[in-house]
Amino acid sequence: MLNTNPTNTAQFSPSLTLPAGSRECAGRNTMDTLKLLGEQLKPQRRVVHTGDTIYQAGERFGNLYILNSGFFKIVNLSADGREQVVGLKFRGDWLGFDGIAGGRYACDAVAMDTGEIWVVSYEALLATCAVQPELLQLLHAAMSREIAHDRDSLMSVCTLPADARVADFLRYWAQTLAERGMRGDEITLRMTRAEIGNYLGMTLESVSRALSRLARDNVIGFATKGRRDVQIPDVGALSAFVQRCLAPAPTMLQ
Amino acid sequence: MLNTNPTNTAQFSPSLTLPAGSRECAGRNTMDTLKLLGEQLKPQRRVVHTGDTIYQAGERFGNLYILNSGFFKIVNLSADGREQVVGLKFRGDWLGFDGIAGGRYACDAVAMDTGEIWVVSYEALLATCAVQPELLQLLHAAMSREIAHDRDSLMSVCTLPADARVADFLRYWAQTLAERGMRGDEITLRMTRAEIGNYLGMTLESVSRALSRLARDNVIGFATKGRRDVQIPDVGALSAFVQRCLAPAPTMLQ
DNA sequence: CGTATGATTGATGCAGATCAAACACAGTGG
DNA sequence: CCACTGTGTTTGATCTGCATCAATCATACG
């Protein structure tokens, strides 16, 4: 992989520069957006716990879901039994878009932590949008962001070596939390190495080795007890690590 | 890769069973949908030729595009110069969704053949949707399909070995053409091996070897002159080939 | 015809998969 | 309290699928 490497002169983006498209729609932040959605839609609120499934592949589509707290994984299941984590959802994300086209959800949405989701009937949402055009903008922005991010994911697995993929994964996680008003410098991975590996297209052993390497290079740190909490003192260091992985050769001397 | 392989007993879907979600919204077919869109939106029609760029990453968002004929690739470009084909668009597909959230397009859309695209101002589209709710359904269905397909792509690169990825790519291409009323048994790849490889996360040599293998096994055929045209007598054979690649071991004897 | 671009095929090397063993920690129950 | 068990993690050794390097061939075009 990483076969396309045109004159790579390591001009990586310095530290916290957010990539284009990652900021909230119309300059609005996540908290304000959630407040607006809560007021406009008066959604049914539902508390979920680790392992709860909000919808499953094949189930009849009817609702969209807005994640107010906690976090979810989206799992695709193929006819022949392959299982693939295809997305992670954080505070402010919407769930269930995949069901609109086919009338049935195409994936499973599984809670990875305790949290609260808001249930919104798609029909009711459309009705509300008809009298409140700003809502439609929010809906479309959420779908658009999902499409753009899915493409970034594909780019990651297609062009980055294993170590860089793990680093980029942590960078995205930390940035996402920060953008949404949560601490991004100390994140609790509520996924096993196997789940992370599945999401990134590598084995759990490779994930473990990559994390060890990142810790050895002081790009990340591990919390006192257990290896589930990851400290990220500087997000820029993760980006720099990715670039280092892409660097063609040491080119020592000359 | 393909490390998750739970009791894989090769119960592959027989022949032409379309996977859930691949049929058109509300049972409508592509031709009818295009007709409706053309009548309702009266879009500006624009002829494009190979290599034309309909929009580019960073360009200010304003229009969505509906592909009436021809075909496009969607290319993502990272800050450090990596280039990734993240999608292919066929007749009836929409282009430009990635621009809604950030106000700027996130990718390049490049024509791979002569064709016609319809230009629709996003603002005007929303206005029309307000008085024609069916249009909004079509829009959402198109976005939903894109999200679902992007996930399938990620699953492909994460769980399939190189040969199977190429086979699955051809299967998808053939099925998509068939669904949209075009011949699916003889497709002209208007992409180089390098472009296909980039899209599938492998080198051009691996693509070439995979195609040679598929031809040797009579799963595909090459047209008389040149290796750009691929004959696909039976789409099911491609699915079967994918399953064969996933089979744990030859298990000869017993 | 010569040149250029893309495709095929072979030889070799390596990143990451697979196999294997030891370790850490949280329950659980005596 | 500690032994016991199960689940997840780490780390090492080995193997292999695919990348890389390289040479030849095919088709298109000036």
Q: pLDDT, tens digit, for every residue of A13-35?
A: 333 334 444 444 444 688 889 99
- State the CB neighbour count (10 A cutoff) for residue A215: 15
What does pLDDT average to over chain A? Answer: 88
Task: Give the whole-angstrom CA distance, residue A83 versus residue A104.
Answer: 18
Q: What is the block-wise mean pLDDT of chain B (254 residues), using blocks of 10 residues?
A: 40 38 55 90 95 97 98 96 97 98 98 97 96 95 98 98 98 96 92 98 98 97 84 97 84 50
- Here the tokens at position A65 are 């879901």
In this structure, are strands A221-222 and A108-111 parallel, antiparallel, or unpaired?
A: unpaired
**What was the pLDDT predicted at B102?**
96
The residue among B151, B159, B169, B245 with the most chain A CBs within 10 A of its CB, best to mutate, is B151
Q: Produce one character per residue of B134-145: b if its CB has 16 or more CB atoms within 10 Å, e if not.
A: ebbbbbbbbbbb
**What was the pLDDT predicted at A152?**
98
Name the least confident of A58-62, A137-141, B88-92, B222-226.
Answer: B222-226
**What was the pLDDT predicted at B249?**
59
**What are the strands of the beta sheet with A115-121, ordered from one edge?**
A44-48, A115-121, A63-69, A94-95
Q: Which residues of B touch A2 (CB under 8 A)?
A: 82
Which residue, among A218, A193, A192, has the nearest Cα to A207 in the 3D structure?
Answer: A193
Task: Give the whole-angstrom CA distance, residue B198 versus residue B83.
Answer: 8
Does residue B17 contact residue A103 with C-beta atoms inside 8 Å?
Answer: no
Percent of chain A with pLDDT over 70: 86
Closest-lying nucleotide for B2 based on CA to C1': C17
Half-sphere exposure in the Cβ direction for A246 (13 Å, CA): 30
**Measured over all CA atoms, what is the biggest interatomic distance in chain B, rounded to whole angstroms?**
67
Which residue, among A243, A171, A21, A12, has the nearest Cα to B57 in the 3D structure?
Answer: A21
**What was the pLDDT predicted at A51?**
95
β-partners of residue A115 are A48
β-partners of residue A230 are A187, A222
**Treating both helix axes as pointing N-terminal to C-terminal, what angle do A162-179 and A204-216 enclose, rounded to 10 degrees?**
70
Type and span of the H or E element at A157: helix A133-159
Half-sphere exposure in the Cβ direction for A242 (13 Å, CA): 28
**What was the pLDDT predicted at A136?**
97
Does residue B50 contact residue B113 with C-beta atoms inside 8 Å?
Answer: yes
Closest-lying nucleotide for A222 based on CA to C1': D9
β-partners of residue A66 are A94, A118
Pick from A87, A101, A198: CB nearest B141: A101
Task: Give the whole-angstrom CA distance, residue A138 versus residue A131.
Answer: 14
Task: Give the whole-angstrom CA distance, residue B141 versus residue B134.
Answer: 11
**What was the pLDDT predicted at A28?**
66
**What are the strands of the beta sheet with A53-55, ordered from one edge?**
A53-55, A108-111, A72-77, A83-89
Task: Give the whole-angstrom CA distance, residue A195 versus residue A197.
Answer: 5
pLDDT level of residue A216 (50, 70, 90 thresholds):
very high
**Average pLDDT rounded to a whole number, residues A157-181:** 97
Placement of tokens 């791979």 in the chain = B112
Does residue B188 contact residue B229 with C-beta atoms inside 8 Å?
Answer: yes
- Please determine, for residue A248, whether its predicted confidence score (pLDDT) is greater than 90: no
- B35 min Cα distance to partner chain A (Å): 19
- B100 min Cα distance to partner chain A (Å): 6
Chain C: nucleotides below 7 Å from protein CB are: 6-11, 15-20, 24-26
**What was the pLDDT predicted at B225?**
75
Task: Give the whole-angstrom CA distance, residue A66 versus residue A45.
Answer: 10
In this structure, are strands B44-48 and B115-121 parallel, antiparallel, or unpaired?
A: antiparallel
- A56 min Cα distance to partner chain B (Å): 13
Instruction: Give me the numbers of helices (H) and strands (E) for chain A, helices first please.
Output: 8, 11
Domains of chain A: 25-150 (2.60.120.10), 160-246 (1.10.10.10)
- Here the tokens at position B119 are 């230009």
Residue type, B25: C
Type and span of the H or E element at A191: none
- CA angle at B97 for the pair B93 and B101, rounded to the nearest 5°: 170
Task: Give the whole-angstrom CA distance, residue A1 versus residue A157.
Answer: 9
- D19 C1' to B92 CA distance, Å: 37
Does residue B7 contact residue A83 with C-beta atoms inside 8 Å?
Answer: no
CA distances from B220 to A39, A68, A133, B36 (A): 56, 49, 50, 36
Task: Give the whole-angstrom CA distance, residue B155 versus residue B16.
Answer: 20
Tell me which residues from 135 to 194 on chain B have a beta carbon below 7 angstroms from nucleic acid strand C.
192-194
Task: Give the whole-angstrom CA distance, residue B215 versus residue B75.
Answer: 29
